[in-house]
Amino acid sequence: MPEKIAVDLGNIQKTLFLPLWGRAFESKKANPLLVDKTALEIIEHVDYDFSTIARNIHELTQVAWIMRSICVDKVIKSFLSRHPKATIVNIGCGLDTTFDRIDNGSLVWYDLDLPDVISLRKTFIPETERRKFISASFLDRGWLKDIDVIDNILFIAAGVFYYFEENEIKDFLIRLADSFPSSEIVFDVSSPYGVKVANRAVIRNAGLDEKSFLKWGLDSTQTITSWDMRFRILATYYYFREQNRSLKLGNRILGFLSDLLQVQYLVHLEMMK
């Protein structure tokens, strides 16, 4: 048996294993919604016990991770249809493989995360001329100067912002608007109730502790538009509106209620000039 690759990550960083496992699990299904061969490889080779996640994560949570990826892919592909040579910045990239699914051969892609994550990432995913890595917190200011833009820029942040305080996210988005007028960003949010449920039923069940808890719960997208006159909501995307018939009936109902009550969803925001 090959030697496993050691993992040394901070508490929040360890949450990257949740959607990673979700994509690997989906890839093994008879009729997967998404196939991620890299996730399967990583699961096989990292020295991390995924059995607690596999045993305790609810089917609805696993499918929500997949639907989030599918929705983000659609946003990126639409953006690329308008801006073929766009710059895409993947904030808090973890071990995400979105680039592999959407690359049009012309875009420039930046994967941004903390140094410990980028170090692990480099073990499995190569850096190239159009796929660049940045070791930094997204809250740092310096990395913004390293981004090259030819044909507009789209930021994506999946599974990131709700681990931080609201004022940190507000300040960061305003900073993006100052640095990149007319740019766009898509990110997922949870309601205050969703944050409580996630901490109890996802983070704890995955074997993680309170240091990995979600913090920011969003009551309404109007909160975001109130932060700055330049902010305009382009769309919101709900994970279970397109019903997945592979789900059990009870979980389809729970998914419908999750969307209806806006427990978790994606926000697509434009930062106007």
Q: What percent of the chain has pLDDT over 70?
A: 97
User: Of the CATH numbers 3.40.91.10, 3.40.50.1220, 3.40.50.2300, 3.40.50.150, which one belongs to the domain with range 13-271?
Assistant: 3.40.50.150
Helix and strand element counts for the chain (H, E): 10, 7
pLDDT tier at 242 (50, 70, 90 boundaries)?
Answer: low
pLDDT of residue 82: 97
pTM score: 0.94
pLDDT of residue 71: 95
**CB 195 within 8 Å of CB 215:** yes
Residue 261 pLDDT exceeds 50:
yes
* Single-letter residue type at 31: N
Mean pLDDT of 182-192: 97
**CB 2 within 8 Å of CB 45:** yes
* Side-by-side strand order, sheet with 231-237: 131-135, 108-113, 87-91, 153-157, 183-190, 264-271, 231-237
**CB 268 within 8 Å of CB 75:** yes
pLDDT of residue 1: 44
Q: What six digits make up the tokens of 38? A: 């890299």
* pLDDT tens string 89-104: 999 999 999 999 999 9
φ/ψ region of 119 (left if φ > 0, alpha if ψ in -120 to 50, else beta) reads: alpha
pLDDT of residue 6: 87
Range in 109-118, 206-215, 224-233 with the lowest mean pLDDT? 206-215
**CB 69 within 8 Å of CB 159:** no
Among residues 55, 60, 66, the alpha carbon closest in space to that of 24 is found at: 66
- Residue 33 vs residues 16, 55, 249: alpha-carbon distances, Å: 20, 21, 18
List the chain domain ranges. 13-271
Among residues 123, 128, 85, 137, the alpha carbon closest in space to that of 110 is found at: 128
pLDDT of residue 250: 86
Q: What percent of the chain has pLDDT over 90?
A: 84
Mean pLDDT of 243-264: 82
Residue 245 pLDDT exceeds 70:
no
Q: What six digits make up the tokens of 83? A: 């801006």
pLDDT of residue 2: 59
pLDDT tier at 252 (50, 70, 90 boundaries)?
Answer: confident
Among residues 173, 143, 180, the alpha carbon closest in space to that of 157 is found at: 173
* Single-letter residue type at 155: F
Contacts of 52 (CB under 8 A, 6+ apart): 205, 206, 207
pLDDT of residue 243: 56
Residues 204, 119: Cα–Cα separation, whole Å: 26
Range in 113-122, 139-148, 243-252 with the lowest mean pLDDT? 243-252
Residue with tokens 């917190």: 137
Mean pLDDT of 29-48: 94
pLDDT of residue 162: 96
Residue 113 pLDDT exceeds 70:
yes
* Single-letter residue type at 86: A
Among residues 197, 209, 208, the alpha carbon closest in space to that of 254 is found at: 197
Residues 45, 244: Cα–Cα separation, whole Å: 31
* pLDDT tens string 137-148: 999 999 999 999
Backbone angles phi, psi at 152, to 5 degrees: 70, 170
Mean pLDDT of 232-248: 83
pLDDT tier at 249 (50, 70, 90 boundaries)?
Answer: confident
- Mapped onto helix, strand or coil, the DSSP state of residue 81 is helix
What mean pLDDT is reported for the chain? 94
